[in-house]
Every structure is written in C-alpha cells, then in structure tokens.
Structure 1
Amino acid sequence: MAQSKNARRVAEDQAMAKGRMIKTSPQKLNLVAQMIRGKKVQRALDELEFSRKRVALDVRRVLQSAIANAEENHDLDVDSLIVDQAFVGKNMVLKRWHARARGRIGRIRKPFSEITIVVREVEEAA
C-alpha cells in the first residue's frame, strides 16, 4: 500500500528553501535576513553579493535554492518573484570550555542556526 501524498507546506504561487546548520548566531543571521525581506529576488541577490557580512554567502545560497525550486518544481516565473518570508530559527549549540584561574572554567557556546526563505510570484500591475 502506497503512502499518501503530503500536502504542500506553502501556497501554489510560492516556493521554499531551508538552510540548516549555519555557523552563526540567530541574532546575526536575522540581521541579514532582514535586509532581503519583501524585495525582488534579483535585488536581494545583489544586496547579498555585496554585503560585508560573512553569513550573507550562506543566505545567498539558500535564496538561489528557493529560486531554483520555484522555477523547476513549481513552474513559477523567476522575473516576477519576491522574497515573501525570511525567518530564522535556532539549531544546536556546541558547548566548549576554557580553563580559568583557580580551577574554574569559562563556558563557551558556539551556536548554529537555520534560515527558511519563501519566495512568492506576484502579478505585474498593468
């Protein structure tokens, strides 16, 4: 007996891509995600290309994946896509320690985060 088909998580005129295990804190990643929310995808790609933030390269890859998903899987027009949503979540945290004076330790937390980008096709106004 075959498994039933899962329902789409996004609407018919949307496509989604996720980037997981990005080595930065969610707070820093959210600053980059905030730059691209609500913009046309070409403008968002340009801003990520020339951003001075290190994590912008990872966000650019996820955005390109969302664009490719929209084109290949959902037959959406690439020229009329906008970044509908870009939201950030926590992932795992590596816990390390650093030796301190008098037999104590200093805790070091190395956070990872994830980003989800949803692109949407908009109709051109006549």
Structure 2
Amino acid sequence: MEVQALTRYARMSPKKMREVANTITGRKAPEAVEYLTLIPRKSARLIVKTLKSAIANAENNNNLSADSLIVKTAVIENGPVLKRFKAGARGSAMPRRKKMAHIRIVLTDGSNN
C-alpha cells in the first residue's frame, strides 16, 4: 500500500532540495529520518518534516507500522516564482527570482495492494 504526504510552496529552490531528496529514495523510513536529521541544510529540515507527515499518515490512516515503510519516491516539483527587484548599480533595478518548491514523498510497505 502506498501513502503520500505533500508540502506545497516551500520557500526554497527546487534544485537545492533535489540534491537532498535524491539521497533518501529506497531507504527505510526511520533510517531516512535519522539520515536527514544529520544533514545541516534547510532543505533537509523541510524534507524530514514532510517525511514525518507521511509516516504519521501511514500509521493513523492505514494502520501500517513505521518500521515496515520504505521511501518509494521523494519528488521535488517546481512551484511558483516570486519576481522581485533589488537596487542595482547606477540607479538600475536588478531582477530577483525567489523560487518555491512542492515536496511529494511516497512511502510503501512493499505489498502490491
């Protein structure tokens, strides 16, 4: 059985988040939580929050054990971009693109239901 959790509009670049998210695919869920807590990056904190939510969804909604769960996919999707301007040299305006990401984590217990 598959269980998922979704965090939308995370204020971080999707490229930075994908570097961390790709490392947990295929790991057992408790092991992935431990692994992410050791990584000193903002993206790891956001991903572990979503992963814990997915584990809670599996335990409360589907009566699955956290120890039997495996991270099937950890996908970081592009969110909207805030377009802002900052003062530049000689009175000009320099564009800033403040990116957002959507985090989708899918856990599975290994059965084909």
TM-score (norm 2): 0.92
Distance 1:65 1:102 in 2: 48
Distance 2:67 2:100 in 1: 33
Displacement, 1:95? Answer: 1.1
Partner of residue 119 from structure 1, selected from 83, 104, 107: 107
Residue deviations 1:19-51 (CA, integer Å, cap 9, x gap): 111111110011111111110011100111110
Runs of 4+ with >3 A deviation: none
Distance 2:61 2:5 in 1: 12
Query: How well do the aligned residues superpose, as a CA RMSD in angstroms?
Result: 1.2
Q: Which residue of 2 aligns with 1:4?
A: none
| Runs of 5+ consecutive residues of structure 2 not aligned to the other structure | none
% identity of equivalent residues: 38
Q: Which residue of 1 aligns with 2:81?
A: 93
- 1:46 corresponds to 2:34: yes
Q: How many pairs align? A: 111
Please tell me the residue identity of whatever aligns with 1:82: I
Specify which structure has the bigger relative contact order, considering alpha-carbon pairs within 8 angstroms and separated by 6 or more residues. 2
Structure with the bigger percentage of helix: 2
TM-score (norm 1): 0.83
Larger radius of gyration: 1
Partner of residue 33 from structure 1, selected from 18, 21, 26: 21
